[in-house]
Amino acid sequence: MTGSSTPTSDTTTTSTSAPDHRMVPYFDEMTSIEVGKAIEDNAVILISLGATEQHGGHLPLGADTMQGIELARRTVAKLHAEGHPAIVGPAIPFGPRGFLSETPIKLPGNVNFSAQTFMLVLEEIGREIIEQGFRRLYFLGFHAESDAPMQIVAKKLCETTEANVVTLNWLVGARPRYSKYMEAKAQDGHGGEGETCRMLATAPHLCRMHLAEPWHPTPRDDRPDADNLPYLGGGVGRYKMAEPYFEGFKSGITGDPQLATAERGELVYDLMTGWLVDVIRHDLSGTEDYSRAEL
């Protein structure tokens, strides 16, 4: 790890001191009466979209789902501090199959949906929640492959129900400031420094740091502008990578998780939470009139 100083938290939210996010209940921990009260209060509901997949030898299979619930809890805590009713909705612990451009080999532990099945499940869950009376739903993506499918489902639910369904991709929202929290200068990604920082803040007892191994791809140095996958804010959907991109790939991760610290995980969560709260606050300050919606 380098000797650079740790940056201070940088969020744009202006909320007052938030309650302890660890005390915010997850949907499964709530009672029917508590959910009913949230509906009466016109509460925002955050539905995190996770996965069950390998994250190298050092992180658990449910890392995406755990981080999604963690971020939802932190966001709800800050919304509560500002007086906005909100709850942590149910999490989906399975996602679409991984991109071959991220993991080209099969590794044990992955339990995936096809994209079609994932969209059906997400739509069914969304409709159940909307039929109960929720009108502001946020799909919080924490599995890259869920980004495009969740947009399709959100669009359909907006067109066919009275609810407003919004998708949140923090990878794009927090990206302009995210890199300054990382020590590594080489490419970081799945199971790497950033994700390991967050898991050390979320569930340190599940991180096997003695098994953390670095791996970095061998990309070409003549890439065109915006040559990144769309979920990273790029304009090129390249889902297979030619050799020698994956030379030496075996651990299933991209980056250097050995550089991760829980302290920087907390700072990154602050950044991500600030962006989510800004988006939701903006929505809550607008009109409730969707009379022109196509129903």
Instruction: Answer yes or no: is 47 within a domain.
Output: yes
pLDDT tens digit sequence for 285-294: 987 776 666 6
Does pLDDT of 122 surpass 90?
yes
Distance of CA 1 to the CA centre of its chain: 26
3-state helix, strand, coil in the chain (%, to 5): 40, 10, 50
Are 49 and 79 spatial neighbours (Cβ–Cβ below 8 Å)? no
Q: Give the pLDDT of residue 231.
A: 92
Counting the structural domains of the chain, the total is 1
Q: How far is CA 137 from CA 48, 72, 89, 237, in A?
A: 11, 12, 9, 27
Q: Domain for residue 4, yes or no? A: no
38-62 pLDDT, tens digit each: 999 999 999 999 999 999 999 999 9
- pLDDT (mean) for 3-27: 63
Query: Does residue 15 fall inside a structural domain?
Result: no
H runs (alpha helix) in the chain: 32-40, 63-81, 115-132, 147-160, 170-173, 175-178, 193-202, 262-284
Segments forming the whole domain that contains residue 130: 23-284
What is the percent of the chain with per-residue pLDDT over 90, rounded to a whole number? 83
**Mean per-residue pLDDT for 221-244?**
92
First to last CA, the chain: 55
- Return the closest-CA partner of residue 191 out of 70, 63, 51: 63
The order of strands in the sheet holding 44-49 is 86-88, 44-49, 136-141, 164-168
Alpha carbon 19 to chain centroid distance? Answer: 21
**Proportion of the chain above pLDDT 70, given as a percent:** 92
Instruction: Kindly report which listed range (11-15, 94-98, 109-113, 241-245) carries the lowest average pLDDT score.
Output: 11-15
The answer as to whether 3 is a domain residue is no
Would you say residue 295 lies in a domain? no
Residues 56/191, Cβ–Cβ less than 8 Å:
yes
CATH number for the domain including 133?
3.40.50.10310
pLDDT in the model for residue 185: 84
Q: Which residues pair with 165 in a beta bridge?
A: 137
Give me the sign of the Cα torsion angle 279, 89, 86, 134.
positive
* 13 inside domain: no
Q: Which of 273, 250, 261 is nearest to 193 (CA)?
A: 261
Whether 153 is covered by a domain: the verdict is: yes
Check residue 4 and give its pLDDT: 40
Which of 12-26, 78-92, 184-198, 217-231 has the lowest average pLDDT? Answer: 12-26
pTM, entire model: 0.91
Q: Is 124 among the domain residues?
A: yes
Taking only the tens place, the pLDDT of each residue in 124-182 is 999 999 999 999 999 999 999 999 999 999 999 999 999 999 999 999 998 878 889 99
Q: Which of 193-197, 228-232, 272-276 has the weakest average pLDDT?
A: 228-232
Residue 235, CB-side half-sphere exposure with 13 Å CA sphere: 4
pLDDT at 184 over 90: no
What is the reported pLDDT for 175? 81
On average, the pLDDT of the chain sits at 92
